[in-house]
């Protein structure tokens, strides 16, 4: 079996899902049913739209 390319089940997430989950993180697992505009799972390459540096 090749599980390569298993994507996170979150609609807005572009991360790879964990081996034991359909999501990449607990964040997506909680937001899995919410089709948010952009993912905030915390992974660097994900949701890097317009993130202000050093500001929140």
Q: Is 7 helix (H, G, I), strand (E, B) or coil?
A: strand
Query: CB of 39: closest distance to Zn ion in angstroms?
Result: 3
User: Among residue numbers 16 through 35, which ones bind Zn ion (CB under 5 A)?
Assistant: 24, 28
Least separation in angstroms between CB 56 and Zn ion? 18
> Any contact of residue 10 with Zn ion (CB under 5 A)?
yes
- Reference 41, options 31, 33, 50, 51; nearest CA is 31
- The nearer residue to Zn ion, 49 or 56, going by C-beta atoms, is 49
Among 13, 21, 31, 56, interactor with Zn ion by CB under 5 A: 13
> CA-CA distance, 9 to 31, in Å (whole number)?
10
């Amino acid at each position: 079996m090749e599980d390569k390319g298993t994507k996170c089940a979150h609609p807005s997430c572009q991360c790879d899902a964990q081996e034991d989950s359909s999501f990449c993180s607990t964040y997506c697992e909680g937001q899995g049913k919410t089709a948010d505009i952009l993912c905030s799972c915390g992974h660097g390459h994900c949701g890097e739209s317009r993130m202000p540096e050093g500001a929140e």
